Chains A and B, each alone.
Chain A
Amino acid sequence: MTRDAFAGAPDALFTSAPDRLASLLPAISGLQRGSTLVCPDDQLLPTGLAGLDRALGGGVPAGRLTEIRASSGGHGSLLVSLAAQATSRGGAIAWIDPGGFLDIRAAQRAGVVLERVLWVRPQGVPQAVRAADLILGADGFGLAILDLASLPAGAWRTQRREPGFRLDGAAWNRLVRRAQLQGIALIVASDRDLVPGASALTLRVQLAAPTWRDGELEGASLEVSVLRRRGASGGFSGRFPLSLVSLAPA
């Protein structure tokens, strides 16, 4: 509508309009100022650990590979936290879980929207990597988790039985390229140095200092160190409290 449409109207009508509208805003459900809208940052996915997110500038990078090294646990809680953050924003995620480690009830209580999780349980590492390759070729996933940590030795031995499969740098580079094309944050959790040079971010996590109260496990701490962050200097190390999800059924 142009001002000409109000020819003859007093100027006060225009000068006071924003203020009057602003006074109406609280009364109108769902209406808010454009300046207050927060556009989600497509480039970074928060981990749910506030201090770590601050250190990383917002979270783990989309379209890149983030490696989580866990020699003594802790990665499961971080993965669930990432999944909760991604699905709570309305995104779909893929969780490739050759070990079948996902605790469904705990994930739900952590805030993961289960219907937005594509849970794939391959048999062995080669299948897991191939499944990741397929998922990274599809669009619409915001996060893909490849959980290769704590796998039994048999899961790795299947690799030798598949002559056409090699989990080498070329294979990781292919996954990274696909993640980049689709803008998917690819998270690889492992207990060994799997992706040399392919990751944009490498975190080391460790579970520490369980806390007990009145004879019951109350929680623990998650120690996170940034081992490598492409394009940034300076490391980070922090400890984040984790509270326990009750074993009692919901």
Chain B
Amino acid sequence: MTFRHPRAVARGNTAKTAEGIADALAPAGDGDLADFDPAEPRLADSSRASGVAAGGQSGEPIPFLPGISEPGRPASSARLAYVEVPDFPLAAILRAHPELQGRPLAIVSGSTHAVSRGPVAQRGDRAEGPAQVICASVEARAGGIVAGLGAARARQRMPEIVLQSPSPDAERSAQAAMLEVGFAFSPKVEDAGPGALYLDLGGTSGLYPSEAVVATALDTTLERLHLPCRVGVAAGKTIARLAAREVGLGVKVVPFGTERSFLASLPLALLEAPSQITERLQGWGIRTLGELSALSPGAVARRLGAEGMRLLRLAAGEDDPPFVSAFPPPLYEEAVSFDDWTVSTLEPLLVALGQVIEPLLERVRSAGLALLAVTVTLKLDPRGSDVRQLEFAAPLAQLEAIMDLARHELYLRPPPAAVASIRAVGIPAVPRAVQGHLFAPPEPTPERLAVTLARLHALVGEDRVGAPAIPADKRPAAIASLPFRPHPVSSRPAPGTGSRGGPLPGPILVARALRPPRVIGVRTTGDRLTAVLLDGQLHPARAVAGPFKLRDGWWTSEPVDREDYDVELFDGRLIRIYHDFKLATWFQDGVYG
């Protein structure tokens, strides 16, 4: 890729360009800095700032430098939002373990070893050794715990502090949650690394009255997911990022056309440059990005090398890598691991499962969806896993209902061993809106119905709960059932309209099926059936209808070949019997009434 400076092109000064590039790429030497005059670049910049006319007056060609544009002029006019969760490892752990909210917590790095200290130590307390604090909660910071402090020192300063190492599982889940929120606002989202993302706000003007409203909505949504963030909106990635970092937590919008003035006043520290370079720049009296961008690129390249050039580009508001949209996350997943401990009883396991399901559900809800099923994988200690599939009769968006089903599932079949970690993958679905008809009876609420069905499954077994269906088997006592999902009526049903849409038949005589059929005996006189042997007693038949031949499934291994009869006994009973030719046996499979 060729970087061309717009003004250099305008001048057509190609002869000096090669020299300028060589100038810029020359390695910086310490000796050069000794005689570096901060005034020199400013003078050079003042000539630059005056544009073509100034350059023409001085006669000095402006170096054709790669990637350096006019300060504060964005590389593109695309409006981007930068969303960042400060202290992301800390936020991810607080999201996964909400019980730690409000407690002094510090995330430590380095080689660690567990130190049992207090009730939270089981969760993976880390301390001592070379471990250092990466970030700390507000409560911990109030006690003097700051980044870079040794873990042992932190414990000394604040004995009640909870020290914890970063959790890759929690960070992965939190990052996925951020991306989902991003995709809920814009189809173009770039994953900018742990705790950060960019959104292309193009096209959102029709949905939101202003960029500030979009940014505030982003901020609010992530706050609801326990991910407090800062949002910057500007024309370009760098300016948006700097805008976000200018505010501690909250929203900052840089209106189009004001980028230069915005950047000029920003403190140098926002660039997060290496401390050595920052110190050098401060030694030259550079305090703001405006002052930095006024430096001569050539001089900066000579003295600070490639890193200095990068900082110069950033100070000018240029984007380093261009915006690249990511693909939407394919699934909703949350996980939690228990580090140095395991869960061996059901109630604590359910509490931990709730802490996994809750953020999962929040993510699904933020996309306007609900959960149709959740696959819970329990990693067992010391090895193996136990996978549970929680399927709901209707998409659920209520945590209580889902946990109710999970409780039933786990109480019915407890895990065979202690659980070391939990991973939950949700299958989202569009929530079922029940719009009952004004004049029709009320429908079962999907959520409550799902819970009721799950409890019934647990009580009597899944195969014994459902909606009856017409079986393919033509035998009268055959059974078929489907999942019970009554569809709401779309129009007012006319009373007296039956299952086939026509008028209801009058009251009919139905048989009650006997499952399984009972073996009986019969007495015949010639071809005529005269009595039935039931329960060891012979009952003379008053009237008999039949036979009704039933042949079915002759192509299968279980063909049906039988003759059915309706029989009225002298004691008043009306029964349905049949002769199975294959078994050469008589059965009763129904009684009328």
Contacts and interface: CB of A to CB of B under 8 A. Distances in A.
Nearest to A130: B459
A90 B440 contact: yes
Given A114-B470, A119-B468, A217-B568, A88 B496 contact: yes
A90 B515 CA distance: 30
Given A77-B510, A101-B513, A217-B568, A134 B448 contact: no
Nearest to B575: A73
Interface string A58-76: 0000000000001011111
Interface in A78-119: 78, 80-81, 84-92, 99-119
Contact of A243 (B437, B453, B508, B513): B508
Q: Is the interface of A mostly helix, strand, loop or mixed?
A: mixed
A41 B545 CA distance: 42
A163 interface: no
Given A73-B591, A91-B440, A103-B477, A138 B468 contact: no
Contacts of B543: 210, 212, 217
B574 A138 contact: no
Contacts of B499: 84, 87-88, 108, 111-114
Contacts of A208: 572
B496 to A, nearest CB: 6
Contacts of B574: 73, 207, 210, 217, 220
A244 B465 contact: no
Interface residues of A, number: 82
Interface in B75-115: none
A91 to B, nearest CB: 4
A121 B485 CA distance: 17
A113 to B, nearest CB: 5
A73 B592 contact: yes
Contacts of B440: 89-91
Contacts of B441: 40, 42, 86, 89-92, 142
Nearest to B572: A72
Contact of B593 (A37, A48, A70, A108): A70
B467 A115 contact: yes
B486 interface: yes
A109 B500 CA distance: 8
Contact of B444 (A70, A108, A115, A141): A141
Nearest to A73: B593
B464 interface: yes
Contacts of B476: 103, 105-106, 247
B495 A120 contact: no
A191 to B, nearest CB: 11
Contacts of A77: 507-510, 593
Given A107-B468, A139-B448, A242-B507, A131 B439 contact: no
Nearest to B444: A140
Contacts of A171: none
A212 B573 CA distance: 14
B282 interface: no
A84 B486 contact: no
A188 B479 CA distance: 23
Interface in B473-526: 474, 476-482, 484-487, 489, 492-493, 495-500, 504-515
B510 A90 contact: no
Contacts of A159: none
Given A40-B441, A104-B470, A217-B566, A135 B508 contact: no
A110 B504 CA distance: 7
A180 interface: no
B511 A88 contact: no
Contacts of A37: 439
A250 B568 CA distance: 24
Contact of B452 (A105, A117, A137): A137
B545 A215 contact: yes
B449 interface: yes
A48 B493 contact: no
A80 B508 CA distance: 9
27 contacts: A42-B441, A48-B504, A73-B573, A73-B592, A76-B512, A88-B493, A88-B499, A88-B504, A90-B437, A100-B479, A100-B515, A102-B513, A104-B468, A104-B479, A107-B468, A108-B499, A111-B498, A112-B498, A122-B459, A123-B464, A134-B459, A138-B451, A139-B444, A141-B444, A207-B509, A217-B592, A247-B566
Given A48-B506, A119-B468, A216-B566, 19 more contacts: A42-B441, A73-B593, A92-B486, A100-B479, A105-B470, A115-B485, A127-B460, A134-B455, A142-B442, A150-B512, A207-B574, A207-B592, A210-B574, A210-B592, A217-B543, A222-B507, A241-B507, A247-B476, A247-B566
The 6 A-B pairs with the shortest beta carbon distances in the complex, nearest first, are A73-B593, A111-B498, A140-B444, A91-B441, A90-B440, A242-B509
Interface of A: 37, 39-40, 42, 48-49, 70, 72-78, 80-81, 84-92, 99-123, 127, 130-131, 134-135, 137-142, 150, 207-208, 210, 212, 215-217, 219-220, 222, 240-245, 247-250
